[in-house]
Amino acid sequence: MRYAVVGTGAIGGYYGGMLANAGFDVHFLFHSDFDAAWSNGLRVNSVNGDFEIEHINAYNSTASMPKADVVLVGLKTLQNRLLPELLDPIVKDGTLIALIQNGIGYEQELQEEFPEARVCGGLAFICAEKTAPAVVSHYDYGKLTLALHGEDSCDSFDAMIADMEEAGIDVVRADDLNTARWKKLVWNTGFNGQSVLFGKNTEELLFGREKEMYVKPAMLEIIKAAQANGADVDESFADEMIEMTLNMKPYYPSMHVDYSHGRRLEVEAIYSRPLRLGLAKGVEMPVMEEIEKRLRKING
């Protein structure tokens, strides 16, 4: 199969790079890093072993890219407004579009935009960031959970998972996209915004007062909202996420990285959308409301 990566930052660079390093046909869309990628290729400095794709299929426009069987979207949700224009040249009948993003509900929106395609959600549990032009640093974890949007089976989905397994990616197939999305939100709402508000990494948040004030309370509110919206997750999942985080290398989440670089934050995807969905079901979410209000103020 032919793969296209739209958004070659930490997420697209790592997973797309793993596929390309294993010999699969992968084509990468770059923006500001195009010149670096064209000259030097893509480098991934990984805890599991460094590698470099010297002769990379690099593009600065999807208009010059070939049609793809699978598109991996690694853009932040803040850029989703660009997806119709970006994807149109590379999507064909039956193309599988994998949204490896935060948030909830974006698969449905994209399916309506591209009815001829199939859409799946991707949830990356990974500590990674782009540390230089066309250079990704992978510090810990790397599991990618994938779930189809819609009830019909999809041959391309099965083939993609097989390719990723062959490439050494820790990939998990989930049957329930809604539950998978809400579970990812449990971790995101517990740590992402709080790392910005308090200027602390994951370990510091867990050993400071923020755990009692914001981290676990936010997680428990999201779990209640998830349950009200049909997700299969119980309150013990908050402790599971905290235990997992204690075992990982101390890390500044993606929202803190964006904040430190002066970029806008994914407040809508990680906080506002799930907050609205919870409140609409009558769930009381005072901690989430306070975090969202403070982060929106930072976003201006």
Question: How many degrees, rounded to 5, is the angle at CA 19 between CA 6 and CA 261?
Answer: 45
Concerning whether 184 is annotated as a catalytic residue, the answer is yes
DSSP class of residue 80 equals G
Q: Among candidates 44, 66, 19, which has minimal Cα distance to 163?
A: 19
AA identity, residue 80: N
Burial of 239 per CB tally in 10 Å (0-12, 13-18, 19+): exposed
% helix, strand, coil for the chain, step of 5: 50, 20, 30
Rounded distance, CA 68 to CA 89, Å?
Answer: 9
Strands 57-59 and 135-148, how do they pair?
Answer: unpaired
Cα–Cα distance for residue pair 150/153, rounded to 1 Å: 8
Catalytic residue selected from 76, 183, 184, 224: 184
Cβ pair 145, 138 in contact under 8 A? no
Kindly state the DSSP code that residue 270 receives in the 8-state scheme. I
Distances (CA, A) of 98 to 16, 20, 60, 288: 12, 17, 20, 28
**Continuous H helices in the chain:** 10-21, 34-40, 83-87, 106-113, 155-166, 177-198, 202-207, 210, 216-228, 236-246, 254-260, 267, 273-280, 286-299
Task: Tell me which residue has tokens 């995101």.
Answer: 188
Known catalytic residues are 184
